[in-house]
Amino acid sequence: MTAKTKLIGAGAAIAAMLAAMGASSFAQFTSTSTSTSQSFTAGTVKITVSQGALKYMESEHAMGPNSINMNIDSPANMAPGDTWSAPLTVTNNGSLTELFTISSSGMSGALFSGSTPADVTYNLAGPGPETPLTSSDYVVLAPGKSITVMVNVHLPYGVGNGYQGAQGAFTITASAEQADNTSLAPGDQLINPGSSQPNPPAGTNNPPPQA
C-alpha cells in the first residue's frame, strides 16, 4: 500500500467517524416544560364628585363690637363680603391609586367677570386644619376611598353697584390620573392625606402611595 493510499484511507475513516458523531448528536435525551397561561389585566382610573348633599352655608367673617353678621340671606342673594361654602365628596371608583386635582371650569355670568368678580376656592377638609387646594395640587386617593373637599364662593366686599343682581355659574371638575409611575411637573405639589411622610419635591417620581 502506497503512502497516498494510506492517506486516502485515513481521511475516509475520519470522515466516517465525524458522520457518526453528527448522527449521535441527534440522539441526545431532551426535555421541555410549558407553564400555564399568564394573565394580566390593566387597572382602571375613575373619579366622581358627589353633589347629592351639596348645600351652601354662609361663613361670616366680620368681627368686633361694631360688626354686624346677619345670616339670613342665601346663595341667590349674596352681599358684598359673603363667603358661601359647601362640602364635595370625591370618590375613587377605579382599581388604581389615583392623583386628583380639583378646579373650576365653565365660569360664566356677570358675577364671575368684570373688575371685581366673585372667586371660587377649594380646601381639603380635615382631619386637622383645612388645606387650601389649587389646580397644581395633586391629592392621593386610594381605590374605594372618598375624601371631602370644601368649595368656597366669595364675593369681594369692594364690589361696586354694577354687581347688584349679577348672576353667575361654574362647573366643578375633578381630574384624576394614576399615581404609580407618574412624575409631577416643577411647581406641582403632592398631597397625601393618608401618609405621615413628607411630600416629595415636585418633578420627582412618586413612590407608590400607601392605601
Mean pLDDT for all residues in the chain: 79
What cell was used for 173? 371638575
Q: What is the pLDDT of residue 208?
A: 45
pTM of the model: 0.72
> How far are the Cα atoms of 1, 19, 67, 77, 160 from residue 155, in angstroms, in the given order?
121, 97, 18, 11, 11
For residue 53, is it within any domain? yes
* Phi and psi torsions of 20, nearest 5°: -65, -40
For residue 120, is it within any domain? yes
Number of domain units in the chain: 1
Please name which of 96, 103, 150 lies closest in space to residue 123, comparing C-alpha atoms. Answer: 150
Residue 20 has pLDDT above 80, yes or no: no
For residue 3, is it within any domain? no
CATH number at residue 168: 2.60.40
Per the CB < 8 A criterion, the answer to whether 122 and 149 are in contact is yes
- Rounded mean pLDDT, 79-98: 91
The torsion defined by the Cα of 92, 204, 199 and 151, in degrees rounded to 10, comes to -50
Higher pLDDT, 4 or 118: 118
- Rounded mean pLDDT, 14-34: 68
Residue 2 has pLDDT above 90, yes or no: no
For residue 19, is it within any domain? no
β-partners of residue 89 are 50, 148
Neighbours of 113 (CB within 10 A): 14
Q: What is the pLDDT of residue 10?
A: 54
Q: Which domain holds residue 180?
A: 47-63+74-191
Residue 158 has pLDDT above 80, yes or no: yes
- pLDDT tens column, 162-210: 999 999 999 999 999 999 998 888 989 999 887 765 554 444 444 444 4
* Phi and psi torsions of 75, nearest 5°: -60, -20
For residue 210, is it within any domain? no
Residue 61 has pLDDT above 80, yes or no: no
